[in-house]
Amino acid sequence: MRNRNILPLLLAALVVVAVLVFGGQGVLGQLTEGTTTAPATGAAASASASPAQSRPAQAAPAPAQKNPSGLPAIRESQLPAEGRRILALIRAGGPYRYSQDDQAFGNFEGILPRRDRGYYREYTVPTPGESDRGARRIVAGADGDKYYTGDHYESFSFITEGS
């Protein structure tokens, strides 16, 4: 009688483990020491995939991000490599290198759309060769809108996902 009660629990645990191992890549499959990696495609993916992984992906396409700012757009793939790494960290919730990262951005310049205090958060995009934080930043809004500045808030570009 007792074994019959455990069987559904074991099956549920097995399903959870299978989803974690074979389903979606999530943050665990994408981040290794601050770098992003792309999944293998084409013949390389077919050769290395297990039978359960060789099925075509059924992921829904990401919805197009609307640009509420009217600012020029920049694709994520056009950002410097350091900017793409910071976007991956933002999606993962950190950790961040600088104590000023993930702090409220006041939008005092008024370039970004006007929002309540605390809506925007800022993140440092390291600049190779700089001894300080440099001028590059990503500013992220609470609704998922993200902006890049390479000149310390003098100008911004709206970041669109994709390549």
154 catalytic residue (yes or no): no
**Helix, coil or strand: residue 72:** coil
Tokens in use for 21? 């191992």
Tokens in use for 88? 């991956």
Q: Which residue out of 109, 130, 152, 154 is catalytically annotated?
A: 152
Tokens in use for 82? 């350091």
Q: Is 105 exposed, middle or buried (0-12, 13-18, 19+ CB in 10 A)?
A: buried
130 catalytic residue (yes or no): no
> In Å, what is the CA distance from 153 to each residue of 3, 19, 62, 136?
64, 42, 28, 8
Q: Which residue out of 33, 82, 109, 122 is catalytically annotated?
A: 122
Residues that are catalytic: 122, 152
